[in-house]
Amino acid sequence: MTSVLKIKPKENCRWDLVSLGEVMLRLDPGEGRISTTRNFHVWEGGGEYNVARGLKRCFGMDTAIVTALADNSVGRLVQDLIYQGGVDQSYIRWVESDGIGRTVRNGLNFTERGFGVRAALGCSDRGHTAVSQLKPGDINWERIFGGEGARWFHTGGIFCALSETTPLVAIEAMQAAKQQGTIVSYDLNYRDSLWKSIGGKARALEVNRELASLVDVMLGNEEDFTACLGFDVEGLDKDHSRLEAENFHRMIESARQHFPNFTVVATTLRNAKTATVNDWGAVCYAEGEFRWR
């Protein structure tokens, strides 16, 4: 695939990847359930951030996160967790806290494991966060992509659903990245709950279609392509539980006609047999070919 994407050499770039997105404090009751636990273990997480963390700790790459945090003890705990994650924090914007969380907060994500027939459960508490208040001009993209240099930029549909201003920040970043020859990837990651109160599906479509035209590597499953980009897939079973090869191919081809800039399209596939047992797979399109695993 290295031949498909023209990635800048590392010598000229401080960063293998820079990611733009929220980093939430994840609160995890372990074997228990959120609603009856007395203890939470904490981790940090976020769709776009996880890409930067994985590349750093599994593959040893130099990565940085662009985000914002409210400057209180919870924000400092997220900072401590990001330090452990090894992801560079130079581009975290620290926002003064009002001490009570009316004007600005840090995102929290309570999650519990499923068991047997009981599904896994999440309860996110991410309204009014510092990162949702990011706006164009807040980040010095010129320094990141021009000055220090980055081989790859990643963001996604969760960050762009946080507020009215976050998609504007994403566009600003993508444009700066493309100007410097940095590869741009985007994970569609459609979340109904996030879009509901800021324009719903219509707005999701509008925002994502605009962003899509700047993307080199597009990530998302059929449901994401439908909800975010408006591509209808025939014969898709109603609860999207299984992705069929033929349909996925046809959809990608259709998407490529509208967005010829999609050099690579990929998605992971999870087939949850029970809450405890999953099958995992992945599919990738590049240069007219599909690879399944």
State yes or no: residue 10 binds a second copy (CB under 8 A): no
CB of 111 to a second copy, least distance (A): 9
State yes or no: residue 34 binds a second copy (CB under 8 A): yes
Which of 121/286 has CB closer to a second copy? 121
**Contact between residue 213 and residue 246 where contact means Cβ atoms under 8 Å apart:** no
Count the residues of the shown chain that bind a second copy, applying the rule CB under 8 A: 44
State yes or no: residue 98 binds a second copy (CB under 8 A): yes
Q: Among 127, 75, 78, 70, which residue's Cα sits nearest to residue 95?
A: 70
Paired tokens of 197: 């109160």
Which of 39/257 has CB closer to a second copy? 39
CB of 258 to a second copy, least distance (A): 30
CB of 76 to a second copy, least distance (A): 4
Using CB under 8 A, pick the residue from 1, 10, 12, 80 that binds a second copy.
Answer: 80
Whole-angstrom distance, CA of residue 47 vs CA of residue 242: 22
Q: Among 127, 69, 134, which residue's Cα sits nearest to residue 96?
A: 69
State yes or no: residue 257 binds a second copy (CB under 8 A): no
The crossing angle, in degrees rounded to 10, of helices 73-85 and 47-59 is 40
State yes or no: residue 60 binds a second copy (CB under 8 A): no
The sign of the torsion formed by the CA atoms of 99, 102, 103, 106 equals: positive
Using CB under 8 A, pick the residue from 21, 47, 85, 149 that binds a second copy.
Answer: 85
Q: In Å, how far from its chain's centre is CA 72?
A: 24
Q: Among 126, 130, 119, which residue's Cα sits nearest to residue 97?
A: 130
State yes or no: residue 196 binds a second copy (CB under 8 A): yes
Using CB under 8 A, pick the residue from 37, 50, 165, 254 that binds a second copy.
Answer: 37
- Give the Å distances, CA to CA, from 164 to 40, 167, 195: 32, 7, 10
Whole-angstrom distance, CA of residue 45 vs CA of residue 107: 10
Using CB under 8 A, pick the residue from 2, 3, 73, 241 that binds a second copy.
Answer: 73
Gyration radius of the chain over CA positions: 19
Give Cβ neighbours of residue 214 (< 8 Å, ≥ 6 apart): 171, 174, 175, 178, 184, 261
Using CB under 8 A, pick the residue from 2, 3, 36, 257 that binds a second copy.
Answer: 36
Which of 78/264 has CB closer to a second copy? 78
Q: Tell me, residue by residue from 140 to 179, as one string, x for binding to a second copy by CB under 8 A and - for no binding.
A: ----------------------------------------
Q: Among 190, 78, 196, 187, which residue's Cα sits nearest to residue 127?
A: 196
Q: Tell me, residue by residue from 103 to 142, as one string, x for binding to a second copy by CB under 8 A and - for no binding.
A: x-xx-x-x-x--------x-xxxxxx--------------
Interface residues with a second copy (CB under 8 A) are 27, 33-42, 72-74, 76-77, 79-80, 83-86, 98-103, 105-106, 108, 110, 112, 121, 123-128, 193-194, 196-197
